[in-house]
Chains A and B, each alone.
Chain A
Amino acid sequence: MVDVPLGSAGVVAAPDVEDVELYHPHSWVTKYVFSQDAKVIAIQYSFVALSVGLIALVLSWLMRLQLGFPGVFSFIDANAYYQFITMHGMMMVVYVLTALFLGGFGNYLIPLMVGARDMVFPYVNMLSFWVYFLAVLILVASFFIPGGPTGAGWTLYPPQAITTGTPGGQDWGIILMLMSLMVFIIGFTMGGLNYVVTVLQARARGMTLMRMPLTVWGIFTASFMALLAFPALFVGAVMMLFDRVLGTSFFMPAMVEMGQPLDRNGGSPLLFQHLFWFFGHPEVYIVALPAFGIVSDLISTHARRNIFGYRMMVWALLAIGALSFIVWAHHMYVSGMNPYFGFFFATTTLIIAVPTAIKVYNWILTLWRGDIHLNVPMLFALAFIVTFVNGGLTGLFLGNVVVDVPLSDTMFVVAHFHMVMGVAPILVIFGAIYHWYPKVTGRMLNDALGKLHFWVTFLGAYAIFFPMHYLGLMGIPRRYHDIADMAFVPPSAHTLNAFITIVALIVGAAQLAFVFNLFWSLRHGRNSGGNPWRATTLEWQTPETPPPHGNWGNDLPVVYRWAYDYSVPGADQDFLPQNQPGPSRAAPGAGHG
């Protein structure tokens, strides 16, 4: 940590950059619809992303109904099932998690946490949301076209993604999906540039990089990674669109379809897999790193203890971000690529466990002898740690080639990635919403409903995904519409599937309690005041709550300390806000990484 005593000339230097000129909205439309205020954009992003999340949740219900009670629901035929899988996966990964963490939390928290008035380019930021919204509209439109949405699986592997027999393959489904992805990437790029440049170049006086809260570090690293990873998906989408629309053969080998040789040859289906996973693996961490950052802040705040090993936490984030670009082919062990690749990619994959383990140890050591407040955000944060460890351990299975090969394409894989990048980040999202809702609205979310929501979601998620590991070890394949006729499947597997489906319906319905809580507390929630959690970071120190346009009133904050001065011995309260001048921490050995 960079400790600077009060009045040190270095940190509180006279501003060498003038305060920015803010854009002031003139009408209701420019204030709330085409708003250039990052906070409004954040709420727009979050609202759209959560709505898409509800659609994707319903899709998962439909899939589970088919798996749990095959044949009972006649409208879920094989085509519909594959369409549900595809849309559920793509929506959740790209349009919900990425948009919510970066577009939602990024927009709200970055300017407030680094002490800026707004993002650096508010106009571009506004465009980013509306382009994202357009991408969502294109995606949802595919439900209403002849042939329906694409059923290619969320990874959209060619050649089957664009051939006859795959739902949407020769209709509009795949075209709309690819176009929507391209539009999303363009929209994200506009937002991502804003997030990165705001963190790098628009911080408050005294806010050094190594004083930033880990939330900002996480979102910043993830945004930067997304700017480098999405290009690969963009290129893959362009090429597949050409394959589908223009009849090129980038990804199409010579093949026979319905007994007829296709007029294609010489393309490489593996090329798409490489492009897709060069995006797809960093994408896992684009979702995970903001979650890591947010959970660090939640734990530190609600355990009233400084984060353990702050520097190592930052370096671990950066190391994970860098390493995640050289592990992509561990998704392709059974694809037929050169087996030597497997050796390389298994090695790099397992190396990622090191920085990740550093983070988990540091979270636990932060909790160690902390004054733990078991309120709703903290419950979600703790649940994240166990869930993430759980999902991470199965990652060790799947990262090793020899163990992965028999487990590939079984329910074990489904269990693994839902634990690690489905449930875990969503727990953080819930925790973060309970944590920051008071800042956004000035009111607390209802605590009893929150605890109900937490316990049903947390225990339910385990009841859903834990048994899937067993199904996977039994050899139950994933992405199968109906496994009833397979001789090796014991009756207990069907019972287990029915059990999972029932729990999934309950957990999904429990989310309505959360949605209700969001709207109910808007008017009836307890008044929160400006800093209900007695947190140190800048966003809790705004002169008004919710923060107005421009965030800080007349004077920008000046930062005197890191973000984790909790329970400082000798201080008159158990937290010291970042913008509070005063003696530097006196505790020897407190939290230096």
Chain B
Amino acid sequence: MAEQAVTDTTHTYPEASDLRSIAADFSSDRQAFRNVSWGKAMMWIFLLSDTFVFSCFLISYMTARMSTTVPWPNASEVFALTIGGVTLPLILIAIMTFVLISSSGTMAMAVNFAYRRDRRKTAILMLATALLGATFVGMQAFEWSKLIHEGVRPWSNPWGAAQFGSSFFMITGFHGTHVSFGVLFLLIVARKVWRGDYEHQRRGFFTSRRGDYEAVEIMGLYWHFVDLVWVFIFAFFYLW
């Protein structure tokens, strides 16, 4: 083999924005993802891992649904609400989904204002997001208590396969936990933004490290992910 050709590892191929630029990024030194901060890279990889968690939950639910020997309850009837004498199937879930997707909108706006360094609007929008998230969790609690009153338990329910209740409480509970943690961290980051921590380079209470406005965007990544997961839960659990 002859001497290898010299390769400039940081050449960026400005005209070729396709695979070659990806290859250039990956063959460069220091960073595989150019100008992606450590925090953002970490959140993306965490979300990939979390995707596997939710996929396993949903696939397990589908397997349970297929392998059980008794009929599966009809989601449209179970999740119906009677409002003013009219029975509306899935009405609560529809509202919950609307609330959660709206919260993604306010989150995206918060990220935008964070990059404009507009502390007040960022904090308010994050608080709005947290409020919508809390509303979602509250409605979920309402739904849980309604079903529990009707006799649904993790180990049995009045309408059919016991795995219905098991899967329902497990999957929505796990997702609700994600939303609740999201609300908690939204409040923390909103407080930091409001107080100007990211401008005054104030150090974190636990980590003693300085934060950055990018925290808002990283928070946003998580929040949009939780939203996206809900769409799949909605499709596979409630609509199927």
Contact = CB atoms under 8 A, between A and B. Distances in A.
Contacts of A271: 60, 63-64, 67
B159 to A, nearest CB: 14
A23 B7 CA distance: 37
Given A239-B60, A265-B69, A227 B48 contact: yes
B172 interface: no
Interface centre among A123, A266, A268 (most CB of B within 10 A): A266
Interface stretch (B74-82, B204-212, B230-238): B204-212
Interface string A364-375: 000000000000
A588 interface: yes
Interface centre among B11, B32, B46, B162 (most CB of A within 10 A): B162
B3 interface: yes
Contact of B27 (A201, A202, A209): A209
Contacts of A202: 30-31, 38
B67 A267 contact: yes
Contacts of A239: 60, 170
Contacts of B37: 201
B64 A4 contact: no
Given A231-B53, A266-B64, 18 more contacts: A4-B8, A9-B8, A17-B30, A197-B38, A210-B27, A231-B50, A231-B52, A235-B60, A242-B166, A242-B170, A246-B155, A247-B154, A248-B163, A266-B70, A266-B163, A267-B163, A271-B63, A589-B1
B28 interface: yes
A33 interface: no
Nearest to A203: B30
A189 B46 contact: yes
A227 B64 contact: no
Contact of A11 (B9, B49, B170, B207): B9
Contacts of B188: none
Contact of B6 (A5, A210, A588): A5
B51 to A, nearest CB: 8
Contacts of B27: 2, 208-210
A16 B12 CA distance: 14
Contacts of A267: 64, 67-68, 163
Contacts of A204: 29-30
Contacts of A250: 60, 64, 163, 166
A200 B41 contact: yes
Contact of A592 (B1, B9, B155): B1
Contact of B162 (A8, A13, A238, A266): A266
A546 B210 CA distance: 29
Interface residues of B, number: 56
A92 interface: no
Given A200-B41, A248-B155, A208 B28 contact: yes
5 contacts: A16-B30, A224-B45, A231-B53, A242-B154, A266-B68
B222 interface: no
B29 A207 contact: yes
B6 A196 contact: no
Contacts of A123: 206-207, 209
Contacts of B49: 189, 192-193, 227-228, 230-231
B19 interface: no
B161 A266 contact: yes
A42 interface: no
Interface string A7-25: 0111101011100010100
B42 A121 contact: yes
Interface in B4-41: 4, 6-11, 26-33, 35-39, 41
A23 B210 CA distance: 11
A556 to B, nearest CB: 10
A217 to B, nearest CB: 13
B194 interface: no
A10 B8 contact: yes
Nearest to B161: A266
B225 to A, nearest CB: 14
A40 interface: no
A359 interface: no
A17 B31 contact: yes
A2 B7 contact: yes
A10 B155 contact: no
A559 interface: yes
A11 B10 contact: yes
A16 B33 CA distance: 13
Given A1-B4, A209-B26, A248-B166, A268 B63 contact: yes
A267 to B, nearest CB: 7
